[in-house]
Amino acid sequence: MIDELNALLAQAKDELADARDEAQVEAARIKFLGKKGSLSAVLRGMGKLAPDERPRVGEAVNSVKAGIEDLLERAKKAVAERALDADLRREKLDVTLPGRPQKLGHRHPVSLAMDDIIEIFARLGFHVADGPEIEWDVYNFEKLCFPVDHPARDMQDTFSLDPATLPPPPKGAPDPPTRILRTHTSPVQIRAMLEARKPPIRVITPGKVYRCDSDVTHTPMFHQVECLHVEEGVSMAHLRGTLDAFVKAFFGPHIQTRLRPSYFPFTEPSAEVDISHPLCGGKGCKICKGSGWMEVLGAGMVNPDELSGVGIDPEKYTGYAFGVGIDRLAMLRHGIDDLRLLFDNDVRFLQQL
């Protein structure tokens, strides 16, 4: 029987050496190790052996079984390697062919405009201040001279937030602890003055703001930057000089500015600021409706009540502030007539800018 087992191992070795695919390997496994296989037949014959021979034959059976299992594993690996080699030969790449270049991204015109604005004001001695987009109603309105019943609040449709969806107000929160999506970046000015406590204060506050509005020239979310300068002796002349320097640096030295009287609760006096249209050079065109001028921002001297509300003496210090939509500046710079194009994510459009 020992000779029969050795012959069985030799036969398995020969057959598995010739196996060319997984099916042949599996067929050999069933033939030699299956329930009705050759090794099982040998085991069934052990009952006819003398008791003293059974241990020796049993040890030989286990050795042959382990040998066949090892041959099966080697055959599987060999078949897999041959299949992989065949796939690689079949799918061979021509490395001399030119590659397909990846499309590069393009910076968004609003991002470019924001970076330019920050750089311009940095040269003028201003630094960037930041604040939360979910803002306290007190900072967004009341400390900017918008009391609860002030009619000027109707000028801004506000996204109010359900207190049940927000975490509890932290210790030291304003009273009342009402939270909204900020409608302008002016609350950051309040925070900057509260933190600084004492002038001089020279900050710009770029960021996202939110209003319930959507049409050709408005979107529910847009970008705004505001400028604040509080110091002794600051006047409208300083405001005009800063505006001129900013506009000429952003649009070009040929751009002119003009101020028209207006009203904002947080500035007194207040003004609307127009610029000569960048595309027609002030000569008049369809976009500026033939006037040669475009309204771009609101400005004015900081309301003394606002200064008092943050602990700054309005008898000693004065300041100016102005705010402008960054998206609007990007539209004017590139001659875009529909604000919604900036948010469509159309690569063909963005690559033109």
Between residues 152 and 42, the one the model is more confident about: 42
State yes or no: pLDDT of 32 exceeds 80.
no
For the record, the structure tokens of 248 come out as 């000429």
pLDDT for res 321 = 96
Q: What percent of the chain has pLDDT over 90?
A: 38
Report which of residues 155 and 228 the model is more confident about.
228
Percent of the chain with pLDDT over 70: 93
* pLDDT recorded at residue 59: 78
Residue 53: pLDDT band (50, 70, 90) is confident
Rounded-to-integer distance, Cα 123 and Cα 120, Å: 5
Which of the four pLDDT bands, split at 50, 70 and 90, describes residue 151?
confident
Between 251 and 103, name the one with better pLDDT.
Answer: 251
Residue 323: band (very low, low, confident or very high) from pLDDT cuts 50, 70, 90: very high
Give the model's pLDDT for residue 189: 94
pLDDT value of position 301: 97
Mean pLDDT computed over 37-48: 71
Distances (CA, A) of 177 to 36, 166, 167: 82, 11, 11
pLDDT confidence of residue 262: 94
Residue 93 has pLDDT above 80, yes or no: no
Query: Tens digit of pLDDT for each residue in 234-293?
Result: 999 999 999 999 999 999 999 999 999 999 999 999 999 999 887 776 677 766 677 788
Q: What is the mean pLDDT of the chain?
A: 85
d(CA 138, CA 148): 9
**Per-residue confidence (pLDDT) for residue 62, from 0 to 100:** 76
- What string of DSSP letters covers 248-268? HHHH-TT--EEEEEEEETTEE
pLDDT in tens, 201-218: 999 999 999 988 776 667
- Point out which residues pair with 318 in neighbouring strands: 231
Checking if the pLDDT of 94 tops 80, the result is no
- pLDDT bucket at 117, cuts 50 / 70 / 90: very high
Q: What does pTM read for this prediction?
A: 0.68
As a whole number of angstroms, the distance between CA 291 and CA 283 comes to: 8
Distance CA 180, CA 158 (A): 7
pLDDT at 186: 93
Contact criterion met (CB below 8 Å) for 115 and 333: no
Q: Looking at per-residue confidence, does 172 or 262 come out higher?
A: 262
Alpha helices in 181-267 (DSSP H): 186-196, 236-251
pLDDT grade, residue 133 (50/70/90)? very high
For the ranges 74-83, 235-244, 300-309, the lowest mean pLDDT is seen at 74-83
With 0-12 CB in 10 A as exposed, 13-18 as middle and 19+ as buried, what is 174? middle
